[in-house]
Amino acid sequence: MTGRVVLTIVLGILFLVDARPLPAGPEPAKKLRVVTSLQDLAAIAREIGGEYVEVFSIAKGYQDPHFVDPKPSFMIKLQKADMFIKAGLGLEIGWVPPLLDGARNPNILPGSRGYVDASKNVPLLEVPTGDPATLRAQGDIHPYGNPHYWLDPLRGKIIAENIFEGLARLMPGKKEALRRNLDRFKKTIDAKVARWVKMIAPYKGRNVIAFHNSWPYFEQRFGINIVAFIEPKPGIPPTPKHLVKVIHVMKERHVKVIIISPYFSKKSAELLASKTGASVVELAPSVGAFPEVQTYTDLFDFNLSRLVKAFRGG
Ligand SMILES: [Zn+2]
């Protein structure tokens, strides 16, 4: 052994002996702060972000997502957020812009790295031909097409991809882990969709009516047939004249189920039920609408079992 090698070994040992012990445990990793407009988006963000994210939803699932009070406490949440995810298509037009203005956080504004519009690449239904601004001025609250697209679980996979992209942009080092979560989420959805479709198959084509036009994506995926709405136009409360028309349609089309959401008054629905013998079924328009709907798959487990029960007459 040469003197130089011996010296290197000795120095190496000295260095090892001298090395200071590492702190007792690794520092807890800072979680990415994600704020979403809706609980559905929050539920999916938790599936994809897993342990790396801390998620807060502004609207709760039992609130009408078109009309949410832009409280100052939400501005504070947005001010501290690393990422903001919204449904888009004008759904949150009355409350997200004032919240973003108040939050003064350039990192989550449209076009910035921390901003995700979950509707990107989602195939839309009911896109009107008219100018959205004019339609909106006329009171139409779906001027860019129907914004309730998260009620189709296959579109939920596209939402998940958009959220994955946003998270991976902010946490490039975690990209592989995030991708594994995305793949797992998509596989779960595919397996569940097959089961859900089978569950509802015996009732394919059944005519129903709904309070608000929240359900076209759900309707298409699961093969039910919505023939009228209690609202004459989305966001416009029913008039007696309109309800008479709806009763007529219900009788003609043998409608036995009326779908409503927890934030709408049951009065008109109950009146229609009493005139036609139909039953009123409260479905969850979002995660969080009912205590038992906590995850994105809960949303469909809940809605399909309620609907099947109603069709069976139970
Ligand atoms: Zn709507």
- For the cut 80, the answer to whether the pLDDT of residue 24 exceeds it is no
Distance 161 CA to ligand 1 centre (A): 23
- Vertex 217: Cα angle to 298 and 141 (nearest 5): 105
Predicted local confidence at residue 17, as pLDDT: 47
Q: How many domains does the chain have?
A: 2
Distance 234 CA to ligand 1 centre (A): 6
CATH number reported for the structural domain that contains residue 93 in this entry: 3.40.50.1980
37 and 184 both lie in a single domain: yes
Residue 228 lies in a domain: yes
Distance 64 CA to ligand 1 centre (A): 8
Residue 275 lies in a domain: yes
Sign of CA dihedral 45, 104, 144, 247: positive
Residue 19 lies in a domain: no
Distance 24 CA to ligand 1 centre (A): 53
Residue 246 lies in a domain: yes
Distance 142 CA to ligand 1 centre (A): 6
Distance 229 CA to ligand 1 centre (A): 12
Residue 24 lies in a domain: no
220 and 186 both lie in a single domain: no
Residue 8 lies in a domain: no
- For the cut 60, the answer to whether the pLDDT of residue 98 exceeds it is yes
Proportion of the chain above pLDDT 90, given as a percent: 86
Residue 11 lies in a domain: no
Range of the domain at 88: 32-122+130-192
Distance 152 CA to ligand 1 centre (A): 15
Global pTM exceeds 0.95: no
Residues 50-96 have pLDDT tens digits of: 999 999 999 999 999 999 999 999 999 999 999 999 999 999 999 99
Residue 51 lies in a domain: yes
Alpha carbons 248 and 246: distance in angstroms, whole number? 5
Distance 1 CA to ligand 1 centre (A): 81
Distance 160 CA to ligand 1 centre (A): 21
Distance 52 CA to ligand 1 centre (A): 32
78 and 118 both lie in a single domain: yes
Distance 290 CA to ligand 1 centre (A): 19
Predicted local confidence at residue 14, as pLDDT: 47
The 3-state DSSP class for residue 138 equals: coil
